[in-house]
Amino acid sequence: MTATRHSTIDIPVDGQHIAGTLVAASTMVPGVLLVHGWDGSQQQYMARAHDLAALGCVCLTFDLRGHAQHADQRMSVTREDNLRDVLAAYDALVGHPSVNPDAIAIVGSSYGGYLAALVSSMRPVRWLALRAPALYHDREWLTPKGQLSRSDLVAYRRTLVGPDDNRALAACAAFKGDVLIVESEDDQTVPHPVIENYLAAFKGGVRSVTYRVLAGADHALSRQEPRQAYGTLLVSWMTEMTLGAKSVGAPITRPVHAAPA
């Protein structure tokens, strides 16, 4: 295992600063951006970041606006704001001198998975690991995230949705890298139809899709056993991906899509 170190950084975005923690190994290696879900924080991914950094990756966790030190913006922050947060964090990660810009992974949970999918169409991404990725209507993009109708979301997530009807799924359909999709068996927030929509979208031309279900897990992974299972799965998958990249050297997708309006 490679020795790791971490340091706190400030990420400028829209005239504000969001907090991040950079976890790095000692040599130039793949970069991993970890994106937490709604009502989460970078602390949820801190242990995972250290595990992945020990494999030989530079990992960046950060707090989306509306959370942690910016919790007072919870009811005003929009999906556009948080997408810009992820893009700013991505750029900060790629700017690290130890990061190979052709070997970037984004790991996202729930809302963070949704944002990660969008970013894959706007920045070069080689690997996507999405745990219980959420799904939202394209409409009301600039409506504060905390003010979106819960009943509307519940109904939407029970329906069949395709890439032609959803920008996150369109990004997935255009993605050409490797994908990990992890579902919680007892998820009441992101039900199985959402996972089916993501899996169907990724059939467009990805190099590989790995799909796993965490037995007995709820959306938040509140129990230790599924939480540990997810950590083991993520590290195992990233180990396989990064070792394969070193031996094969396959090119990554370089998207040119514009940011969502």
Nearest by Cα to 50 from 261, 259, 247, 234: 234
pLDDT of residue 45: 79
Question: What secondary structure letter does DSSP report for 235?
Answer: H
Range of the domain at 69: 5-245
Residue 78, domain member (yes or no):
yes
Read off the pLDDT of residues 128-137 as tens digits, 9 standing for 90 and up.
Answer: 999 999 999 9
Residue 252, domain member (yes or no):
no
Residue 254, domain member (yes or no):
no
Residue 15, domain member (yes or no):
yes
Residue 166, domain member (yes or no):
yes
Task: Tokens 């994106």: give the residue.
Answer: 35
Query: Residues, the chain, total?
Result: 261
**∠ at Cα 88 (83, 91), nearest 5°?**
125
pLDDT of residue 246: 54
Residue 22, domain member (yes or no):
yes
Distances (CA, A) of 125 to 6, 28, 106, 118: 23, 17, 7, 11
Residue 199, domain member (yes or no):
yes
Provide the domain count of the chain: 1
- Residue 226 scores a pLDDT above 60: yes
The structure's pTM equals 0.82
- Residue 186 scores a pLDDT above 80: yes
- Residue 25 scores a pLDDT above 70: no
Identify the CATH number of the domain in which residue 131 sits: 3.40.50.1820
Residue 253, domain member (yes or no):
no
